[in-house]
Amino acid sequence: MAHLQIADARVYAELAVFDKDGTLIDFHGVWGGRAQRAVAALGDCVDAALHDALLDTMGVDRDTGRVDGQGLLAQFPHDVIHAHCLQTMIEAGVPPNRADRELRARFAGVMRAPPQRDEMLAIGDLRALFSGLRAAGLRLGIVTTDDRDATLQTLSMLQVSEHVAQVVCGNDPVAAKPSPEGILRIAAALDVLPQHALMIGDTAADMRAGRAAGCFCVGVTSGACDAAQLRELADVVVNSVHEIHVLRTA
């Protein structure tokens, strides 16, 4: 339990639930690059037009690799991305069986590869942040659309695993954000009322999930969405998770 200062808001909380990509690590550096490499890996079954169409489907800028914060890649788990990319390939004339096979073998081989240390660019000193929040009495959780194995490996690389009590991932049997199910599952497991929890994330889906759960919603501009997009849904918008400050414990 802690009293926190977040921008101009003072908040009492028992639980902080974080998104992962864009909130704890650089989003574009991981997923923009992976998306471009994954499409390129499809090789001769993708011509120039289909290459661009697949990036458009995912919401990835063809030139810069920046990811649209309101797009598919920023908000949905791998199985949803697969389904939409499959439809794009079929509409372009690739036989359905071949499209599905190539996506599962080549595309997914890049998108779902284990995290690499050179990709995991932490947003500031997360170990110090998490340690401080835990020392103040906050319980910590993660809700992400990424797969569980990759998420646990990332938390280990960031050296914060010991501080995280609960993790809900995109391949768990839980409805993905913007459903509040992941947040509510963590709150229930830790015996915390959702109104005593924070949801901290960089996308509209994060904020919608937090709103639906009844949490105080903190939007961070370190990831996929800008401040204007987040302000429509968040209680407060800050540059990064490092603007969450402990005032005192309760």
Q: Would you state the pLDDT for residue 1?
A: 78
Phi, psi of 145, rounded to the nearest 5 degrees: -85, -5
**Mean pLDDT of the 135-141 span:** 96
Q: Would you state the pLDDT for residue 205?
A: 95
Q: Which helix (H) or strand (E) holds 34?
A: helix 33-40
Angle at 44 between CA 42 and CA 47, to 5 degrees: 90
**Mean pLDDT of the 145-171 span:** 97
- The CA–CA distances, whole Å, from 249 to 51, 134, 191, 205, 208 equal 52, 11, 18, 30, 28
Q: Would you state the pLDDT for residue 118?
A: 87
Burial of 146 from C-beta contacts in 10 A (0-12 / 13-18 / 19+): buried
Q: Would you state the pLDDT for residue 59?
A: 96
Q: What pLDDT, in 10s, does the model give residues 37-96?
A: 999 999 999 999 999 999 999 999 999 889 998 899 999 999 999 999 999 999 999 999
The DSSP output letter for 74 is H
Q: Would you state the pLDDT for residue 56?
A: 97
CATH class of 2-25+120-249: alpha beta
For 149-155, the CB contacts below 8 A with 24+ separation are 149/114, 150/112, 150/114, 150/115, 151/20, 153/114, 153/115, 154/20, 154/25, 154/115, 154/120
Q: How large is the C-alpha radius of gyration of the chain? A: 18
Q: Would you state the pLDDT for residue 28?
A: 86
Q: Would you state the pLDDT for residue 77?
A: 94
Instruction: Tell me: pLDDT of 195 over 90.
Output: yes
Residue with tokens 């921008």: 7
- Residue 29 vs residue 187, higher pLDDT: 187
Q: What pLDDT, in 10s, does the model give residues 226-243?
A: 999 999 999 999 999 999
Give percent of the chain with pLDDT exceeding 70: 99
Q: Would you state the pLDDT for residue 182?
A: 98
User: Taking the domains of the chain in order of start, what are their residue ranges?
Assistant: 2-25+120-249, 28-111
Q: Which helix (H) or strand (E) holds 17?
A: strand 15-18
Edge to edge, what strands does the sheet with 139-143 contain? 166-168, 139-143, 15-18, 197-201, 216-220, 236-238
Mean pLDDT taken over the chain:
95
Q: Would you state the pLDDT for residue 72?
A: 95
For the entire predicted model, the pTM comes to 0.91
Instruction: Tell me: pLDDT of 30 over 60.
Output: yes
Instruction: Tell me: pLDDT of 249 over 70.
Output: no
Report how far residue 124's alpha carbon sits from residue 172's, in angstroms, rounded to the nearest whole number.
Answer: 28
Structural tokens at position 144: 């992400």
